[in-house]
Every structure is written in C-alpha cells, then in structure tokens.
Structure 1
Amino acid sequence: MLLSLAAVWGGSFFFAEVALREVPPMTITLHRVFWALPILGLIVVLKGIPIPRSMKTWGAYLVMGGLNNAIPFSLIFWGQTQIDSGLASILNGTTAMFGAVVAGIVLVDEPLTLKKIVGAALGVAGVTFIMGPEVLTDFNPSNLAQLAVLGGALSYAFASVWGKLKLADQPPLMNAFGMVAGSTVLMLPIVFIFDGTPRLDLSAGVWGSLFGVAALSTALAYLLYFAILARAGAANLMLVTLLIPPFAIGLGVLFLDEQLGANALIGFTVIALGFAVTDGRLFERLILKSKADADMQ
C-alpha cells in the first residue's frame, strides 16, 4: 500500500508535466481538486460518515484546503514549468523535515529535538547541493522554480500542524473531503480571474493526465493515505516521502525523456539521510543491533 501511495503521488508530477503542455498551473490545481471532490464525496456518503454542520469546522477546512492543496499544488505546478518533474519531487521530499521543525516550534507535544534539527540541516544541505551556490547571486527562472517547490513543501508542513490543531476530532476521510472542498472554493475564483475560463478543447493525453492527477493522485491517494495511517501509524506513513521521487524520476525518464544530473541525485541522498535522522528509527535499530551483536560476543 505504501508503494502504491508513492506511485500515485509520484505520478502527480508526471501528470502535471503532461498537462502543462496545454493548461496553466493554477488551472491544473483546480482540475485536480474539482474532479476529486465528487469521488471523495461519494465515498463519504457510502461510508455513512456524518458531514459537519459547524461553520467553524468548514472554516478550518477552507484554511486546510489552502495550505494543503491550493498553495502547494499551484507552487509546485508552476515550478514544473521551469524544472523537471523528478527534480520537483526531490525538492518536495523536504516536506517531512519542514513538518518536523514547524511542529516542534508550534506544537507543545512535539518538541524540537536535536535529531529534528540535524535532520532539517541535512535537508537544507541537500537542497543547497542541488541548487548550487549560484542561487545566491543568480535568481534565474529555474532557481525561482525550485524555491517555489520548496515553498509548497513548507505550506504542507503548516497544513499538517493546522490539521492537528483544528481537525483532529473529525473523521479522516471527512477531513480529506472537506479539505478538497475548501481548496475548490478557493481555486474557482482565482482561476477565473487570473487564467480565465478553463479550456475544454484539450487533447486526449492532457485530459487523461488531468483525470489521473484528480482520481489517482488525489482521491485514491487519500484513501491509501488514511488506510496506511490506520494500519501502520504516522511514523511509517512518513516513509512515503522517500519513495515518491524514484517513481517521479522513473516516469520522467521513461515517458518524458528527462535526465537528472549527478547533483540532483546526490542532493536526494543527503535529503534522504536527513529524513532518516529526523525519523530516528533506522539509527535506533542499528544501535540496538550493534549492542545485540556485542552482547553475543
């Protein structure tokens, strides 16, 4: 299930890359949440999940839709107009480390520990390696695009904190539906104002990509997300962060003729190490194993 989630989320970068040939970034965001909304709504109804009536709850969904969908999707899709989908997915992999730091600062029950600080520092080091020192002196579109993707990752981090503070008492699938509803409400006027009326005369490949990013990378992804969360817990679910880039890179290489340089792959390795430090379990197991081996000797 974790691999399936990584595949459909990794596929979102591929679907967006195809859709960007004919559709602007913010309109892709609207398509992604608009078409996912009835799918999630049908699932909520079929499962008999009660729909909240409180305006306070729906206000929280509106904010959640902005932080977890509207802002990051739009930033990442715009970033993909300048950089490859594989690189975007690698930079998006910093989400877990941003999330750990933001939660450590804002939430009392998730303190900012040394391993979170070290993990975040490694994540920044990996990003710096990817972008190169020239980012400080040469703000070309590619650099701005990478910063946009990082901005999306930071928005995801704030969304996770917001969800824990404001929506922890709601059923998870209802949260997914409410969040997508909130982001749809936000994106409709924004798209019509800035992009104009969405075109319908799109090629079959682009329509297929829009359907894929909505039905697979959004609706199905949330079903897998909450199923894994219930079975394996949040810590194991975080592992998907490391599994997304290989799928996104593989799809880009196979179908879009994208090629990533050595810097990107080394940077991903450093980011992965930062994730491992933030998560902590890998090193704890290695320490326990070394102690067990020592005791046996």
Structure 2
Amino acid sequence: MNQPAINRTMTPLEWAMLLALSVLWGGSFFFTGVAVKELPPLTIVVLRVGVAAVLLLVLLRILGIKMPSELRIWVAFAGMGLLNNVLPFCLIVWGQTHIASGLASIMNATTPLFTVVVAHVLTPDETMTGDRLAGVLLGLVGVAVMIGPEALTGGGANVVGQLACLGAALSYAFAGVFGRRFKRMGVPPMATATGQVTASTVMLLPVALLVDRPWSLAAPSASAWLAIGAIAALSTAVAYVLYFRILATAGATNLLLVTFLIPVSAILLGTLVLGERLDPKHVVGMALIGAGLAAIDGRLLKLARPRGPDRPVPAERVPPDVFKGQDI
C-alpha cells in the first residue's frame, strides 16, 4: 500500500496545527499546576486518561473506526499505555508538587534527547550521527545547568521533582520506540491513541481507588474541575487528534519542532496566571536544550554548511515514527 507523501516544508495549515498542539501540550502543565493544589497525583492522572478515553471512543464511533479485538493488540496497548501514559503522567504530576509547571515542561523537552539514544540502541535504522551526538551532549549540559549543583549536595525535594520529570521524558522515549509496532500491526493511529488511554485507565483506576481513596477527599473547587476537564479534553483527546494528523502529513521530523514551543506556552501560562518564577539557570538550560534539538533536527546545520554546485541535494530522510505516541 502506498504511503502518503510527507511534506518536507510544512504548509501554513500544518504550522497552525503545530502551534495549536504546543499550546495544548504546554497547557497540560498549567492545568496540572492548578489541579495538583487540590487533588492527589493518581486521581488527576486517572481522571485525565479516563475522560480522554471516553471522548476518543465517542469520536471513533462518529468516524466509524472500529477498535481491534485481538488480545495481542490489547497487550500492546497496555504496554504503550504504561510507557506513554501511566509512568510519565504520574511522574510529571508528582514532580509538579515540588517544581513549577514551566520548569516541568522544560524537563519534558529533553524527550527527543533520550529518544535519540534509545532509538540508536534498540532500532536498526536510527543510528547515532555526529550531529545527533552533539545535540544529545548539548541537551544533557542544559539539563545539568538547570538542575545545578544541588543535585550533588542533596538539594531536597526540588531536585527530586526535576528528576521525576526527567524520568517521565525517558519513559516517553521508550514509548516512542515501542509505538512503532502499531503501524506494522495495521492499527489506525486514532485507534492506537484510544487503545492506550483506555488501557491506562484500566490499569490506573484500581490503584487510584486503593491509594487515594477519592471518596474521602474534600470536594474540589470549580477551578480544579475545569482544569481536569481541560487537561483531559484539550491536552489529551484533542491533542492526540492534532498529533497524528501532523505526523501523517508532515512527518516525525517536522513534528519534533513542537518540542521547542511547549515550554514557551507552559512558562507563559505559569508566569502570567499562577505567578510562578524561573531562575536564570533554567532559561540558560532551556536555550542549551533548544540548541541540542536544533542539532538533532539537522536542518539549521544543513543550511549553514556550504554545498558544492555540482553535488545533488539529498532528499531529507524522514525518520521512522520514533516519536509516535509522545503526550505532554
């Protein structure tokens, strides 16, 4: 079956969708920052994936897309849900009980750095190039700058919160590689998104009921409920629709650019609405991560390098869906 052509240069519509996606995913850190003041982490996560699962199931029904029934596919959904929802969502929400939403989003921007390393080790077609190695090293320096010397001197909960968000980024990296199997299994992208949040809900619900005992919690305020609804409907369900649309038309390389934009949205929302403040070292660290991502992406370096007049311009190699399945 012929695959749809990938736009090497994104159209204005694709750029608009990319900007919208960055706002939705950046907003997830803001909405979590609101909800975590009144609800425990597990309850927030199970509400996020549960409401998103219901919305996506309704959307699939409207679109006439059937969910697969094979056991092996649902086992894969469970694996994807664990790596792409359960572990990272819990780590990020818990991490945001100790650090600001903007800083959490910066830590999450390290996902492509980890993905380059994981893909190099676990896949035969995503080898580490010099540009990508330089990008990973720059990004890791940025992370070290953000965490600071407190990590070496037992800096307390703030450092632990940052490490939790880095652990979420690493989990997303493994999820990206794991998610490549769904294309080979013939599962439509929308069904993959729905299957993973449904499986995540099934895994998380009994744990949340046992640990958080939500019936014993104080009733959340209207702002907390609005934040939960927004993170589920906008930052999860709608974001997945945009994500897979961009991936299908513009490719994974172009989709990677959203990582530059998510921290900007999260920092602006956190600063303007929640009154959060970031240290100068966090801004410097984000700049280094951005430089690392630019090196991994490679297009800026290609523009800077002189090209001989007689040498043909190579077609841009679109990597396989290494980043397929990533959610912030």
Q: Is the shorter-chain TM-score for this pair beyond 0.5, marking a shared fold?
A: yes
| Residue matched to 2:119 | 103
Q: Structure 1 residue aligned with 2:84, among 68, 76, 101?
A: 68
1:277 equivalent to 2:301? Answer no
| Residue matched to 1:223 | 241
| Residue matched to 1:260 | 278
| Residue matched to 1:170 | 187
CA distance in 1 between counterparts of 2:309 and 2:258 reads 29
| Residue matched to 1:92 | 108
Spell out, residue by residue over 1:206-253, the C-alpha distance to the aligned partner (whole angstroms, 9 max, x if none). Answer: 000000000000000001101111221110001111100000000011
Structure 1 SS opposite 2:67: coil
Structure 2 SS opposite 1:88: helix
- The answer to whether the Cα contact below 8 Å between 1:72 and 1:151 also exists between their aligned partners in 2 is yes
Q: What are structure 1's unaligned runs of at least 5 residues?
A: 293-297
TM-score for the superposition, normalised by structure 1: 0.95
CA distance in 1 between counterparts of 2:306 and 2:245 reads 30
Structure 1 SS opposite 2:305: helix
Cα distance, 1:98 vs structure 2: 0.7
| Residue matched to 2:196 | 179
Cα distance, 1:139 vs structure 2: 4.2
- The answer to whether the Cα contact below 8 Å between 1:103 and 1:111 also exists between their aligned partners in 2 is yes
TM-score for the superposition, normalised by structure 2: 0.86
- The answer to whether the Cα contact below 8 Å between 2:43 and 2:214 also exists between their aligned partners in 1 is no
| Residue matched to 2:53 | 37
CA distance in 2 between counterparts of 1:288 and 1:253 reads 42
CA distance in 2 between counterparts of 1:260 and 1:21 reads 19
- The answer to whether the Cα contact below 8 Å between 1:60 and 1:167 also exists between their aligned partners in 2 is no
- The answer to whether the Cα contact below 8 Å between 1:94 and 1:271 also exists between their aligned partners in 2 is yes
Cα distance, 1:165 vs structure 2: 3.1
The percent of aligned pairs where both chains have the same amino acid is 47
CA distance in 1 between counterparts of 2:183 and 2:153 reads 42
Structure 2 SS opposite 1:3: helix
Q: Structure 1 residue aligned with 2:146, among 127, 130, 144?
A: 130
- The answer to whether the Cα contact below 8 Å between 1:57 and 1:167 also exists between their aligned partners in 2 is no
Spell out, residue by residue over 1:65-87, the C-alpha distance to the aligned partner (whole angstroms, 9 max, x if none). Answer: 01000100110111100100000
**TM superposition outliers: structure 1 runs of 4+ over 6 Å:** 289-292
1:120 equivalent to 2:136? Answer yes
Cα distance, 1:134 vs structure 2: 2.5
CA distance in 2 between counterparts of 1:277 and 1:233 reads 18
Counting matched residue pairs gives 292
CA distance in 2 between counterparts of 1:20 and 1:175 reads 28
| Residue matched to 1:214 | 232
CA distance in 2 between counterparts of 1:121 and 1:172 reads 32
Cα distance, 1:290 vs structure 2: 10
1:50 equivalent to 2:69? Answer no
- The answer to whether the Cα contact below 8 Å between 2:182 and 2:192 also exists between their aligned partners in 1 is no
| Residue matched to 1:188 | 205
| Residue matched to 2:157 | 141
Look up the equivalent residue of 1:181 and give its one-letter code.
T
Query: CA distance change for structure 1 residues 172 and 278 in 2, over 3 Å: closer, same or farther?
Result: same
Cα distance, 1:112 vs structure 2: 2.1
CA distance in 2 between counterparts of 1:2 and 1:183 reads 26
- The answer to whether the Cα contact below 8 Å between 1:104 and 1:113 also exists between their aligned partners in 2 is no
Cα distance, 1:200 vs structure 2: 7.6
Q: What are structure 2's unaligned runs of at least 5 residues?
A: 1-16, 311-328
